[in-house]
Structure 1
């Protein structure tokens, strides 16, 4: 049985229309002290019983479209790295990296 545990907490403050106004998070092994604020998050979890992905995508009212484009790009880059690390699918990860470069160009994101 695992003796080491980590905890992640996420608090979302909503307006009267259930639109996120503030997203705070903390983790037991997060760098730095205290609660951190963010404007957007993508959380994906694998349900082994249903063989399906559960996801939660949130962003605050203050998240600009330009910030969202960069956030998407950086998330796609990270997904390519994770795919390669988790599956050793180097060729597909490289294809994903090619797409992220295309994405950045089309979204006019400076790398």
Structure 2
């Protein structure tokens, strides 16, 4: 049987707030440990029929990048549903949410540019 591993290492400060997040995987195309600013891990607990999740971000994760990260998560969720359920209603809801979130981020960027 083939196996694949994904590993995370989190450097914490004295208050247990993430300062650095590293990940590595046996099938990592980037070869070697990679640093990231945020992770979003969701696991389906089929026994309890619920979500187990880990959401972490570092102290220096920029707010605008967190917004883009959230848009990408919603887009990825939409694609997962396309691939697994083909449920047009749920896909449409997520795609609409993604568009609204993207428009909101664009408006925020314009406002921020006007301040500079």
Identify the residue that residue 60 of structure 1 maps to in structure 2: 58
d(CA) in 2 for partners of 1:48, 1:75 = 22
- TM normalised by structure 2 equals 0.87
Q: CA deviation at 1:106?
A: 1.8
Matched, 1:79 2:85: no
Comparing 87-96 with 74-83, which one deviates more in the overlay?
87-96
Q: Which residue of 2 aligns with 1:18?
A: 16
Could you tell me which runs of 5 or more consecutive residues in structure 1 were left unpaired when the two chains were aligned. Answer: none
Query: How many residues are treated as equivalent by the alignment?
Result: 108
RMSD after superposition = 1.4
Moved over 2 A (4+): 107-110
Give 5+ residue unaligned stretches, structure 2: 110-116
Q: SS in structure 2 opposite 1:107?
A: helix
TM normalised by structure 1 equals: 0.91
Q: In the alignment, does 2:3 pair up with 1:5?
A: yes
